[in-house]
Amino acid sequence: MSTVSDLASVTQNLRQAMYSTPFSVLGMHQAESGTGLTIRAWHPHAECIEVIAAPQGKSLGLMNRLENDLFELDFPRRKNTFYYQLHTTLKDGSQITRFDPYQFGQYTLCQQDIDGLHLYRHLGAIPLEHIINSKHSVTGVLFKVYAPHARSVSVIGDFNQWDGRCHPMASADDGIWRLFVPGVTVGDLYKFELHDHTGKLLPEKTDPFGRKTEQWPGLASIVQSESTYSWRDQQWLDRRGLNHEKPMSIYEVHAGSWKKSDDGEFLNYRTLADQLVPYVKKMGFTHIELLPVSEHPLYESWGYQPVGLYSPTSRFGTPDDFRYFVDQCHQHDIGVILDWVPAHFPQDDHGLFRFDGTAIYEYEDEQRGWHPDWKSRIYNYGSPWVQDFLISNALFWLDEFHVDGLRVDAVASMLYLDYSRKQGEWTPNQFGDNEHLEAVAFLQRLNAEVHRLHPNCMMIAEESTSWPNVSRPGHPKSLGFDYKWNMGWMNDTLSYMTRDPIYRQHHHHEMTFSMVYAYNENFVLSLSHDEVVHGKGTLSTRMPGDDWQRFANLRSYLGFMYGHPGKKLLFMGSEIGVTNEWNPAESLNWHLLEQGPYHRGMQQMVSDLNQIYQQYPALYQQDFDRSGFNWLVLDDHSQSVFAFYRQDSAGNTILVISNMTPGVRSDYAVGVPEAGQWQEIFNSDEQRYGGSGVINPPVTSHDEPRHHQQQSINLTLPPLATVMLTKAK
């Protein structure tokens, strides 16, 4: 405890909001004389302060002013501590009565064991009730923030006029600053004011563990209570799984632009659920994947520059509103996957960047800590604190919001020290290579912990290189993901499909090459938001030809995709053939469904494809087993025809045949693995899809070997179309 002789220097530090041990001076102490008690209070806006006994409400006297804004009152006959309030008359004449925060040292001075994998349970703004006796209690918020190198930290907010002098927090050896502030309630705005180790005042910071964040320009954290949401999705949780042998057709959604309200505003999470869930159910998708919903100040970043990792963006409602969204998905048997961004964070002043004046979240070294592509900061994966911070956040979404998986963004940028860097702009690892060993270790630990605590939740990597064993859990060198986006398949096949059909014969391999490596990973075939932005147009507008040919090309392409091994992902709008490049500021062009047959036909076809996909296990059951796929027609370059069959574990077979030219192929012979009658279950050229209506009646095989099969059938191949057939029962 400081003595009165120290008070001049103490008050100087308090006045500058640079005092790190406020409990040594403020609050209730043994009197310096050794007899009785003393209460000291600091208030930069006080004219006078009266001490009130709590809960009795009895006045115990006015405090004496010692040094400007420091007040003191002695109780020479008191031996036992007691609770009290401070009735303060401010310099503007207003009055407030509050419990003194500095009498609650038990919440500040005692450190506790912290579960590193669930940091969000221990840090941030924690509402609590302090019991005085059986009839009385004190409610407030315990603020806790990690800033190990700060000289001082204060909590500021509505409750203290955003004045960092009012509520200095207490430091501790574990780097966590603490203060219980009575009277602060749910909904109050707050930030942290920090001085670095040199005493320099830093930009005001939002809470890294804040559960809700104010929108621009305020960007303050908002105190949230523990959720009382009543979940109704237990049946879903009991039966969900990793889906390796189940159908998984993902509808990728940007929550702000799928639809807008009649007045052009965002849909609330609840309204979005009430409209999106029935649509996705009707369309037959099994999962919704949301672009990042972690709070991000720049809407145009689509969520990929998050600042509030623990805050579902308040643009669309409260955290419980988001729980409702997930719950509604689950009650309708739809899984929820979140895009998650541990690769980097923006350099916004109010965020994690140099949070306490030092690089506690990012690498100090610019060659590792600066992302040249996105002008952002890279997490320090070698830091135990950062690892715990990120893994805790992954678990937060799984624990608190029941999401079924995380799609980890930009994994490739994490794995390579030379990612997007020129020679001389990066430093090799200890073995002289370009692998980012700390990031590898982090990803392996992340996936191991997620699978240990949530064994039925999926981890999906967006990884665009040939890094081995990304999605091979159990392999000693695996990164541990359950799935990997197949960026190679997407790039090759889109390149092929955007060519005029007359030239496709020279690029046949672009449609077949994916099967060379199809079983190296557990792949998701992704036609994501990245393919409909940055001047690329849309899937429909990238196809060659007139309107009929463009939509026929796209229908055929999606049919080929659904037949190809791998789980499926489509970005919103692709299912109706939108013609405007995706703009996150606008709703999808739903009015197109009222304009001609092609958009309605596309929507109907995707719905039918999803139903067929789920109905026939051959299309999904052995996605990652070589025995589930066989080429039939691999080398018909001149006619741009592809044919293969898929097989389930019981031996049931689906033929998939694509004609990627606008000419009809009559009497085309295709080998079949079984004798008998074969019938179409899907034809992308159906008239109700906007096609020309070239369909095949049931056809019986004959004893003419073709394509290494003993039996074959003869078909009419529709123009620019994919057909699927199965053996009639």
Instruction: Give the active site residue among 50, 404, 409, 608.
Output: 409
For 133-192, give the secondary structure using H, E and C. Answer: CCCCEEEEEEEEEECCCCCEEEEEEHHHCCCCCCCECECCCCCEEEEEEECCCCCCEEEE
Rounded Cα distance between 92 and 238, Å, is 60
Angle at 391 between CA 338 and CA 287, to 5 degrees: 20
Rounded Cα distance between 615 and 456, Å, is 23
- Please identify which residue in the block is written with the tokens 């809407």: 299
Tabulate helix, strand, coil % of the chain (nearest 5).
Answer: 30, 25, 45
State the sign of the Cα–Cα–Cα–Cα dihedral 29, 33, 35, 39: negative
Instruction: Give the active site residue among 388, 462, 492, 521.
Output: 462
Phi, psi of 361 (to 5 degrees): -110, -30
Beta-carbon contacts of 58 under 8 Å, excluding residues fewer than 6 positions away, are 52
DSSP letter string over 51-118? EEETTT--EEEEPEEEETTEEEEEETT--S---EEEEEEETTS-EEEEE-GGG-GGGTTS-----GGG
DSSP 619: G
What the block records as the tokens of 225 is 């209570």
For the question of residue 462 being annotated catalytic, the response is yes
- Longest CA–CA span in the chain (Å) reads 110
Q: Strand pairing partners for 591?
A: none
- Please identify which residue in the block is written with the tokens 């996105």: 374
- Please identify which residue in the block is written with the tokens 């909590």: 155
What the block records as the tokens of 409 is 């963004």
For the question of residue 409 being annotated catalytic, the response is yes
Comparing CA positions, the residue from 379, 381, 406 lying closest to residue 395 is 406
Asked if 22 and 102 touch (Cβ cutoff 8 Å), the reply is yes
What the block records as the tokens of 75 is 């109780």
Rounded Cα distance between 298 and 215, Å, is 10
Tell me how crowded residue 594 is: count the other CB atoms within 10 A of its CB. 8
Comparing CA positions, the residue from 633, 729, 638, 717 lying closest to residue 683 is 717
- Write down the H helix ranges in 284-313: none
Length of the chain equals 729
Burial of 564 (0-12, 13-18, 19+ CB in 10 A): buried
Query: Looking at the annotation, which residues are catalytic?
Result: 409, 462
